[in-house]
Amino acid sequence: MSLNEKETRLQLIDPLLAAAGWANGLVAEEYLYRPGKLRLLGDQTVRDRPQFVDYVLRTEPRGCILAVVEAKDESHAEGAGLQQALAYAADLAAPFAYSTNGHGIVEQDLRTGQVRQLHAFPTPDELRQRFEAGATWRGTTVTGHGGDQVPNPLLQPAFALPGAPAMRYYQEHAVSAAIEQALTGRHRALLSLATGTGKTFIAFNFAYKLLATGYARRILFIADRVSLRDQAYNEFGGLGERRGVVSGPNIPLARDVHFAIYQTLYADAPGGGKVFERYPKGYFDIVIVDECHRSGYGDWGAILEYFSDAFHLGMTATPKQDDSIDTYAFFAGENLDEEGIPRPIFEYSLGRGIDDGYLATYKVLRVKTTVDESLVIQEEVERGAELVVPEGTTPRDAYEMREFERAIVVPDRTRVLCQHLAGVLRTNGALDKTIVFCVTMEHADLVRSEMQDLLGSETGKNLFAARIVSEERDAGAILEQFQLASTSEPVVVTTVDLLSTGVNAPSVRNIVFMRPISSVTMFKQIIGRGSRVDPITDKTYFRIIDYTNATRLFDDWDLPTSPPVTGPMEGQLVVAGVVMDDETGALIADASVSVRLAGRLLAEARADGSGAFRIEELPGTVVDVFVTSRGYTRRHLRVDTTEAEATELEVALRMPSQIDHRLRISGVDVAIAEEVELDLGNGNVIQSNEYLERAKATVLERVGSLDELRNAWVDKNKRAELSEYLGMRQVTPELLSLVLGRPDVDGFDLLARVGFDFEPVSLSARATAAEPLLVTEFPELPDNFVSAVLDKFRLGGVAEIASSELFRLPPFAACWGGVLGVTSLLGGPAKVASFLAAIPRALFEPESNT
């Protein structure tokens, strides 16, 4: 009988690697490649299974990656895993890829494309020599900026401290790509990575390797804001006293790595000239420009021209767009694609970060008001609005939404948006950290005041909302307070663009557009404020609340990949029903109905005059049905076309929460007209049937039958072990009850339903059936005692009655003396333990399942 993959690795492949000398930190097993995409399931997230590379071979511990090895069980051909190994190697920037079944080995050199059949792995020295051969800059030594021969920084181990995070695969790739550009003699390069992927951490490791080998002696890091400069200074903490900050005309010549904002460098120096001109021209070997898209070449061009002998590395979170063309032309001009167009040396998009699981996924809520299409001045004045016209200004007939707060101030609209935003926060989390992007400083102040009035007293926060603009003296302190996950004030911050770039606030859960956006670069920077995963606050996704149609600027850079569609896209089945008003029951004519499968549009139709709709020729599967009508919030239904109910749907649409609450504060009549939760069809949502299939497989990995599940569930320790195992794989009662629509049953019933098609029994029914069993077993207990215990089960399931802590709660404390009183009543601790163990046995007896 053939060995499985695990046995093949242990008994065949591990000895092959050890015989070739791959040990002592040179080989890493189960290298974490992708932690698993976070996908939305209602208001929860479910993480896809992580992906690991079987083996990663390095030059030395924490050193450069030389090769990846994909293992297959011995029943496969030795080359069966080569395609997968090549994909890993390309992402990890490894020059060699191997596939093996433990008996034979197939190698491919990614630089030459040569494929070889081997019987043994190359030794570490052999592979390193091949890695260094073929190009002078790949040698063990290279010429440093001082003219001396120094160790090749490409081979330098990464910086590491006990407990410090290791670089992710794409970070290692970016560092290696930047070093290679410097070693080839190029003068500049561009890295483009989405916000939240650790660009500054990449810059630190790039700098560390160059300094550690002596290839570079001095490095300049340029940001455009003090907060970003200071964040970088802290990120480079591993360099200790080698760091210095340029905070005025005095430059820290005794330090090796200088941190500055270009405004300070370009400022006038005492005695004439600019501050940067106080440095000798060849002083820096490397210049790193952070968020280089933020400013045109004119802002930092003179500085880089002065330090022209240095290697210039630009970093941006924005792919090439019309409004960042100067950035690409300067930094990427030496790295051209097949068509001669500048490109980054390495790129890692927001969508890829979400696919991999390193970045949070997102929901989008798009909202419109009744004045967004056009604000007609004469009509509003005739309705009684007061129009204040500054001297020398002639009002136009109408204004578009993109002109609000710039050409014309519309405080009524702002107040309605704040009312709506307050409702969203109340529903989803009033204390969820939120950034609101506004048009002007005055606009930001009005939004701040409104949000403080609406939710400040409700939450008890004196600083619930704060404005952060660069002109305010305390902006830095408030920003630092907001960035900390551990702080509860402020909750909402309003800004114009101060927080659009580089600010690291992982706990932010809401990004709000009250400012019209036309720049794709700005849009990507803003949504990046929410993209970080925050384990401290358990934040795994964020909301984009869009009041200005900014999300029209989404493109492939921002979107996770769409899941592949399998199976037929058409058939003979039907989805049909009627659309009605949720409150009045009135039928809604002309409603729009669309049917999608895995994000792809299958068909769409409109309801007729009686609210009826019918869509035919659909496949036999679970599809997504979206129904909307003007003035109503869109409904999303999951419909199994094979079920009879699919042709008898009753879809009730509700009006947005603000639709009937029109405000007339200064005379302009404004209300929320439309509220749509966008479905981007990009795989960021895990469908219920997919989750249930995953949950079933996970349950069956641990328990083989319904009886085995029951036996584990009635034993406290086994139940805890099983719950921990399932919870680590995101099979939890909370998620299962959400998907199955059964909040009224215990975790046992949910797991039994998923794993063994068991019909769930409600908490109440189980408690009722168990009561006579327990009364008979413990006749010495006073009246109502067992009923009180089972009432706790009815409220929260078996978790509520798992320990004697139960008896600290009412009514036990008042009626029976709490834990001590109940212990005495039952006859000692052993009797208490016996009683607690008997409860789940009675609750989950097979006889009680009827």
Q: What is the CATH number of the domain that holds 457?
A: 3.40.50.300
Q: Does 377 or 540 have the greater pLDDT score?
A: 540
| Single-letter residue type at 774 | L
Alpha carbons within 13 A on the beta-carbon side of 751: 28
How many Å apart are CA 103 and CA 16, to the nearest integer?
9
694 in the same domain as 741: yes
Residues 6+ apart with CB under 8 A from 430: 455, 458, 459, 491
pLDDT digits (tens, 9 = 90+) for 4-18: 889 999 999 999 999
Instruction: Give the single-character DSSP code of 386.
Output: -
Is residue 644 situated within a structural domain?
Answer: yes
For residue 583, what are the domain limits? 573-655
Domain annotation covers residue 558: no
Is the pLDDT at 602 greater than 50, yes or no?
yes
Identify the CA nearest to 840 among candidates 725, 703, 712.
712
Q: How does the average pLDDT of the chain come out, rounded?
A: 86
Q: Is residue 676 part of a domain?
A: no
In a domain, 287, yes or no: yes
Residue 483 has pLDDT above 90, yes or no: no
Q: In what order do the strands lie in the sheet with 612-618?
A: 612-618, 573-581, 649-653
* CA 651, chain centre distance (Å): 32
- CB-count exposure of residue 320 (10 Å: 0-12, 13-18, 19+): buried
* CA separation for the pair 459, 240 (Å, rounded): 42
pTM of the predicted model, to two decimals? 0.77
Strand ranges (E), 661-811: 672-678
Q: What is the pLDDT of residue 700?
A: 94
CB 670 within 8 A of CB 368: no
* Cα pseudo-dihedral 637, 638, 642, 646, rounded to 10: -10
Contact between 243 and 232 (Cβ < 8 Å): no
Q: What is the pLDDT of residue 524?
A: 85
Distance of CA 183 to the CA centre of its chain: 35
Are 497 and 395 part of one and the same domain? yes
- On the CB side of 14, how many CA atoms lie within 13 Å of its CA? 10
Q: Does residue 100 carry a pLDDT above 70?
A: yes
Please give the residue that has the higher pLDDT: either 380 or 305.
305
* Mean pLDDT across 769-778: 89
Token digits for 204?
A: 């630190």
Say which residue the tokens 């400012």 belong to. Answer: 515
Nearest Cα residue to 719 out of 738, 733, 740, 734: 733
- The answer to whether the beta carbons of residues 611 and 587 sit under 8 Å apart is yes
Q: In the structure, what pLDDT confidence band is assigned to residue 316 with cuts at 50, 70 and 90?
A: confident
Q: Do residues 378 and 555 make contact, with C-beta atoms less than 8 angstroms apart?
A: no
Asked if 654 and 633 touch (Cβ cutoff 8 Å), the reply is yes
Q: Which residues contact 793 (CB under 8 A, 6 or more apart)?
A: 746, 763, 766, 767, 800, 801, 839, 843
Q: Report the pLDDT averaged over residues 221-228.
A: 86
3-state secondary structure of 358: coil
pLDDT of 683 above 50: yes
| Pair 630, 732 in one domain | no
Domain boundary among 84, 116, 134: 134
Element (H, E) at 53: strand 51-58
Backbone angles phi, psi at 511, to 5 degrees: -110, 120
pLDDT, residue 403, reads 82
pLDDT digits (tens, 9 = 90+) for 655-679: 765 433 222 225 677 888 888 777 6
Residue 180 and residue 124 in one domain? no
- How many domains does one find in the chain? 6
Same domain, 281 and 149: yes
Q: Which residue has the higher pLDDT, 208 or 734?
A: 208
Do 129 and 173 belong together in one domain? no
pLDDT recorded at residue 661: 29
- More confidently predicted of 497 and 44: 44
The neighbour count for residue 623, using CB atoms within 10 Å, is 23
pLDDT at 324 over 60: no
- Considering the domain architecture, whether residues 120 and 56 belong to the same structural domain is answered as yes
Asked if the model's pLDDT at residue 325 lies above 60, the reply is: no
Residues 284 and 172 in one domain: yes
Q: Is 566 within the bounds of a domain?
A: no
Task: Examine the domain organization and report whether 549 and 597 are in the same domain.
Answer: no
CA distance linking residue 61 with residue 651, whole number of Å: 60
Asked if 181 and 272 sit in the same domain, the reply is yes
Q: Please report whether residue 67 resides in a domain.
A: yes
What is the per-residue pLDDT for 849? 46
261 plus 329 within the same structural domain: yes
d(CA 477, CA 494): 15
**Per-residue model confidence (pLDDT) at position 504:** 77
| C-alpha closest to that of 360 among 556, 528, 172, 591 | 528
**Residue 660: predicted pLDDT:** 30
Alpha-carbon distance of 544 to 99, in angstroms, equals: 43
Q: What pLDDT is stored for residue 702 in this prediction?
A: 92
Interacting residues of 61 by C-beta distance below 8 A, sequence separation 6+:
24, 25, 26, 157
Residues 127-132, mean pLDDT to the nearest whole number: 88
* Band of pLDDT at residue 225, cut at 50, 70 and 90: confident
Report the alpha-carbon distance of residue 517 to residue 553 in Å, rounded: 9
Measured CA to CA, the distance from residue 398 to residue 375 in angstroms comes to: 5
Structure tokens at 454: 């609406």
CA distance 85 to 54: 9
Residue-level pLDDT at 123? 96
Mean pLDDT on 57-68: 91
Looking up residue 125, the CATH number of its domain turns out to be 3.90.1570.30
Average pLDDT over every residue of 806-833: 84
Q: What is the pLDDT of residue 848?
A: 46
Among 134, 155, 179, which residue terminates a domain? 134
**Residue 500 confidence (pLDDT):** 64
Decide: 329 and 294 in contact? Cβ < 8 Å: no
Lowest mean pLDDT across 433-447, 556-570, 803-817: 556-570
Q: DSSP E strands: which ranges in 504-643?
A: 510-513, 541-546, 573-581, 592-597, 600-606, 612-618, 622-628, 635-640
Whole-number pLDDT of residue 622: 79
At 84 the pLDDT is 93
Is residue 97 within 8 Å of 89, Cβ to Cβ? Answer: yes
Residue 564 included in any domain: no
On the question of a cis peptide bond just before residue 811, with omega within 30 degrees of 0, the verdict is: yes
HSE-CB for 74 with a 13 A CA cutoff = 14
Name the DSSP class of 334.
Answer: T
Domain-ending residue, one of 655, 680, 711: 655
Give the mean pLDDT of 260-278.
88
> What are the residues whose beta carbons fall under 8 Å from the beta carbon of 488, sequence distance 6 or more?
431, 461
Is the pLDDT higher at 416 or at 672? Answer: 416
Residues in the chain: 850
Q: Which residue has the higher pLDDT, 73 or 665?
A: 73
- The torsion region of residue 402 among left (phi > 0), alpha (psi -120 to 50) and beta comes to alpha
CA atoms of 614 and 595, how far apart (whole Å): 11
Per-residue pLDDT, 385: 78
More confident call, 443 vs 393: 443
Residues 606 and 645 in one domain: yes
Nearest Cα residue to 8 out of 76, 67, 68, 58: 76
Of 755, 816, 762, 808, nearest to 785 by C-alpha is 816
